[in-house]
Amino acid sequence: MATPAMRMKAMRNRRRASGLRELRLVLPDARSAVVRRRVAAQSGRLRRKDEREALDWIEAVSLFDEQDGNAR
């Protein structure tokens, strides 16, 4: 029987052959009290004007994507 490492390598090779690529992400753990406090502190420092500008930009870009026919 193949070792776990050999099975994993075979799976990666099959994925690559089908045009896929593995991507690993490391993200803050939202279940952590420390992370939740940090996010709350950062969001509390947001200025309404900056937040509005960001939301307006996101909306403009999403409308552009729809007009371009690339909406997902």
Under 8 Å between Cβ of 2 and 10: yes
pLDDT digits over 9-59, tens only? Answer: 999 999 999 999 989 999 999 999 999 999 999 989 989 998 899 999 999
Instruction: Identify which has the larger pLDDT, 67 or 22.
Output: 22
DSSP states of 6-45 as a string? HHHHHHHHHHHHTT----------TT-HHHHHHHHHHHHT
Region for residue 2 given its phi and psi (left: phi exceeds 0; alpha: psi -120 to 50; beta: otherwise): beta
pTM more than 0.75 = no
Backbone angles phi, psi at 2, to 5 degrees: -70, 145
Residue 68 has what pLDDT? 60
